[in-house]
Amino acid sequence: MAKLYFRYGAMNSGKSIEVLRTAHNYEEQGKSVMVFTPAIDNRYGKGQVTSRIGIQKPATVLAEGTDIFGLVQQQAPDCILVDEAQFLNKKQVEALCEVVDELGIPVIAYGLRADFRGQLFEGSYHFLALADQIEEVKTVCWHCRRKATMNMRLNNGIPVFEGAQIMIGGNESYLPVCRQCYSKARKQTALVQRGSAAADSETEH
């Protein structure tokens, strides 16, 4: 029986590589796959799933008005793969549920669970709520080598904890870290900001 799978992991956990590997395994068996990627992810050009080691595969771009169910019904693949699934909206996630339930085609979605503030993305929220099976793609913290569960955003190498939820970037902008290292960096940043605010106040007086 077909299922909706949500496989989540922190940045740099190899999710895109898993998309490409799974697609290759299906195609090696003579089966067809449809690969979707959100329009917002344009790091390597739209319509491409690209791993950090340079492997690429063309993908169907998911825009706001894309008729997911209609496209899948027309092509009738053996499996659907979704990269950067955290960027999907509620309607798109529900359309993938319909693909599973009405067309009997498995859907495997890969994405981040939460943003750099520790808050769920819209797509991740609905995948966590609706998926038949949820799996973690694991990686290690870049600071202490514990399991990474958080995504730390960087600005010129400095951790930041405020800003817009979506900012497309790679290792220059994000690091996978454990909760302990994330909390430590956030506290240090808060201390620095308080110190700067106090220094500015003294200068004004």
Helices (H) and strands (E) in the chain, counts: 5, 11
* Spatial separation of the C-alpha atoms in residues 148 and 138, rounded to whole Å: 7
Longest alpha-carbon distance in the chain:
75
Q: Residues near 129 by Cβ (< 8 Å), separated by ≥ 6? A: none
Of 18, 27, 84, 204, catalytic: 84
Which candidate, 40, 19, 15, places its Cα nearest to that of 136? Answer: 15
Which candidate, 164, 161, 167, 126, places its Cα nearest to that of 11? Answer: 167
State the DSSP code for 69: H
Reply yes or no on whether 172 is catalytic.
no
Q: How far is CA 110 from the centre of its chain?
A: 6
Alpha-carbon distances of 43 from 37, 39, 48, 152, rounded to whole Å: 12, 10, 9, 18
96 with 72: CB under 8 angstroms? no
* Spatial separation of the C-alpha atoms in residues 132 and 181, rounded to whole Å: 32
Please give the positions annotated as active site: 84
